[in-house]
Amino acid sequence: MTRFTIRKQDGLARTAVFQTDSEALQKLPSALECEVLFPALESGGYTNIPLCAPPSFVEQYPPVTGIQPVVIHPHLDNTAQSGDCVMASNWHTAFLNPRNYVDWLINLKEKTPVDTAWYAPASALPSNVHILCYSGFDLFDFRAVDLKTAKNRFCTPEGDFSADALSGGICTCSGCQQKNLKMHNRHALLCEIALVTRFIEGSRLRDLVESRSRLDAAHVAIMRHLDNQYEFMEKHQPVARNCVLRANSGESLQRAEVRRFAERVINRYRPPKTDVAVLLPCSAKKPYSLSQSHRKFQQAIGGRAHELIVTSPLGLVPRELETVYPAGHYDVPVTGYWDAEECAVIAGILARYFKRNPYRRIIAHLEGGALRVAQMAADLCGFILEFSCREHPASDSALNALDTALTGARRIKDDRLHGMVSYQFDVDLDTKGTTLRGHYPELFYSRKNVQIFSIDTGSGLLRPTFDGWNLIPEGYRVYIDDFIPEGDVLVPGVVEADPRIRDGDEVLVVGARAIATGRAALPAGEMLQSRRGVAVHVRKIKRV
Ligand SMILES: [Zn+2]
């Protein structure tokens, strides 16, 4: 029997603990002496079928069963169970064709239980282990680095060099001090895995992958092909992270979390009842309304228009959603220059939004790239833009022009709650009679003196109370067996979950004997598929 428990997930990557009958508990990701860990590997037959072998070939050579690790292959049915270690033989050859890499990976991930350790034999190098972990592998060996040693190559996360680099001062590990290439190469792999682990624990592996992958075209291609598999990637991304989303590269535009935000603004979010919109530039400070420029914009607008912020890479952020992840969390290098792809993607988002939510007047209070994008969107869906400035939106003259443009426009109700509920739960909430207290952005909403929602200042998401959940008629429920949870709800107790639930979503736990409010620790699919671990971090329990 082997045991595998996930500790922390970051997209497909995770930290975990793994244990076999004979060996001590191992923290993953890690590189281990896998022939010691899995003695049965030596005698097991047909464990090494090439990934590109056709189905007819794979059928002729079924791998031996009943041993650890369990062989997985794109053309084999899954035989692994929760807690097993699975092995994708020859995974290093997948790097030769990034498109195949991603197709095979998705094939294997979709059919294999999520709570299994993923072993990529003879594959890990200091220069590729970031993308292997990002792809959801967690167990490695020293074969690939030892092979580099045999070829007299000195390994670093940035690639490998001839062995004279051993005395070049690049590294000062004990291997380098002893002029022992094998020791250095193994050490370099373990160091890089330790760094990757840190990034997973901080929910920031994507940042490391975007940075490391620049040195290898295959790694960039794998990241881009994975981003193109939006539906697969999106369900593995948490709805919120308590850290900055660094949009420092062109790939940020295609990142699943960035695309999900735009899709929800277009498909779920419901704007307030008004027919006048003002398009505003973003600010470096988040949430925007705490910045000086946005204070001035809001003063000039005086609540007489719906405020929409045009920004890269998110596209369009309605004012009500400015605290929500990643709108309140992204950081982007500001140069004033928007490249052609950025303009095309963001103009497409604006055009889709305005097609679904038409306004009588749209005033562009923008300059530079954001202005160009707004014009492109107007051309795409045939609306006429008004302009209250062409440059310096925060200047006195521009602010006066904005004020004048809105003369006579009716004040609209500031209804942040309505916008946030529609975005988060896809519900058109009637907010009549709700009152607000707190100090922005830490807000509490009540009705008849009973609190219904608060804003989580970390994620920027709404936290419903039991009374709040009464206003959300369906969805985001996790159904449990006939028991009263003591603390967190564990995976085995879950019988059903709304498929839209993602890691970090606010959910209502519903059972025959109790209901509970809390935050999902896993996406719905994994709650139902795994055997161990926490499904929902519970905040409050109520017997029924
Ligand atoms: Zn060294």
CA of 138 to the centre of ligand 1 (A): 23
Residue 208 is encoded by which pair of tokens? 């490391």
Which pLDDT score, from 0 to 100, does residue 255 have? Answer: 95
List pLDDT tens digits, range 287-303. Answer: 999 999 999 999 999 99
CA of 429 to the centre of ligand 1 (A): 60
CA of 145 to the centre of ligand 1 (A): 13
Q: Of 36-50, 190-204, 210-224, 233-247, where does mean pLDDT reach its minimum?
A: 36-50
* Side-chain half-sphere exposure of 25, counting CA atoms within 13 A: 5
The residues whose Cβ lies within 5 A of ligand 1, an ion, are: 171, 173, 175-176, 184
Strands 139-140 and 30-31: parallel
CA of 162 to the centre of ligand 1 (A): 13
| 182 CB-near residues (< 8 Å, 6+ apart) | 146, 149, 175
Which pLDDT score, from 0 to 100, does residue 352 have? Answer: 97
CA of 167 to the centre of ligand 1 (A): 9
Mean pLDDT is highest, among 21-30, 370-379, 523-532, for 370-379
* Mean pLDDT in residue range 24-41: 92
CA of 140 to the centre of ligand 1 (A): 20
Which pLDDT score, from 0 to 100, does residue 23 have? Answer: 82
Which pLDDT score, from 0 to 100, does residue 71 have? Answer: 95
Which pLDDT score, from 0 to 100, does residue 336 have? Answer: 79
Percentage of the chain lying above the pLDDT 70 cut: 100
Listed residue (227, 193, 197, 230) closest to 210, CA to CA: 227
CA of 123 to the centre of ligand 1 (A): 20
Cα dist from 198 to 241, 369, 480, 509, whole Å: 15, 36, 34, 32
* Mean pLDDT in residue range 429-436: 94
What 8-state DSSP symbol labels residue 409? P
Q: Evaluate whether 379 touches 372 at the Cβ level (below 8 Å).
A: no
Which pLDDT score, from 0 to 100, does residue 151 have? Answer: 98
**pTM as predicted:** 0.95
pLDDT at 282 over 90: yes
pLDDT at 452 over 90: yes
CA of 194 to the centre of ligand 1 (A): 15
List pLDDT tens digits, range 323-339. Answer: 999 999 999 888 878 99
Q: Of 14-28, 171-185, 459-473, where does mean pLDDT reach its minimum?
A: 14-28
Which pLDDT score, from 0 to 100, does residue 316 have? Answer: 98
pLDDT at 362 over 90: yes
Which pLDDT score, from 0 to 100, does residue 82 have? Answer: 92
pLDDT band of residue 80 (cuts 50, 70, 90) is very high
Helix (H/G/I), strand (E/B), else coil: 102:
helix
Which pLDDT score, from 0 to 100, does residue 243 have? Answer: 87
CA of 149 to the centre of ligand 1 (A): 12
Please state, in angstroms and rounded to a whole number, the distance separating the CA atoms of residues 215 and 224: 15
pLDDT at 433 over 90: yes
Which pLDDT score, from 0 to 100, does residue 460 have? Answer: 93
CA of 193 to the centre of ligand 1 (A): 15
CA of 181 to the centre of ligand 1 (A): 8
